[in-house]
Amino acid sequence: DADVTQTPRNRITKTGKRIMLECSQTKGHDRMYWYRQDPGLGLRLIYYSFDVKDINKGEISDGYSVSRQAQAKFSLSLESAIPNQTALYFCATSSTKFPKGRTDTQYFGPGTRLTVL
Amino acid sequence: GESVGLHLPTLSVQEGDNSIINCAYSNSASDYFIWYKQESGKGPQFIIDIRSNMDKRQGQRVTVLLNKTVKHLSLQIAATQPGDSAVYFCAENSGGSNYKLTFGKGTLLTVNP
Q: Higher model confidence: residue A47 or residue B96? A: A47
Q: Does the pLDDT at position A103 exceed 90? A: no
Task: State the Cα–Cα distance between residues B26 and A97, nearest whole angstrom.
Answer: 29
Q: Nearest residue on chain A to B35, judged by CA atoms?
A: A105
pLDDT recorded at residue A101: 52
Q: What average pLDDT does range A68-95 have in this prediction?
A: 95
Res B2: pLDDT: 31
d(C-alpha B46, C-alpha A91), whole Å:
14
Task: State residue B95's pLDDT score.
Answer: 63
DSSP codes, chain B: ---EE-S-SEEEEETTS-EEEEEEE--TT--EEEEEEE-TTS--EEEEEEETT-SEEE-SSEEEEEETTTTEEEEEESS--GGG-EEEEEEEE--SSS--EEE---EEEEEE-
pLDDT at B68: 92
Does residue A117 register a pLDDT over 90?
Answer: yes
Closest partner residue to B43 (CB to CB) among A96, A102, A110 is A110
Task: Tell me how close the Cα of A43 comes to any Cα of chain B, in angstroms.
Answer: 6
Tell me what percent of the residues of chain A surpass a pLDDT of 90. Answer: 77
Nearest to B71 by CA among B33, B109, B44: B33
Q: Please name the residue of chain A whose CA is at the shortest distance from the CA of residue B49.
A: A105
Summarize pLDDT for A3-33 with one digit per residue, the tens: 999 999 999 999 999 999 999 999 888 899 9
**pLDDT of res. B31:** 86
Nearest chain B Cα distance for residue A84, angstroms: 19
Task: Give alpha helix (H) positions in A2-111.
Answer: none
End-to-end alpha-carbon separation of chain A, Å?
30
Give B63-89 pLDDT, tens digit per residue: 999 999 999 999 999 999 999 999 999
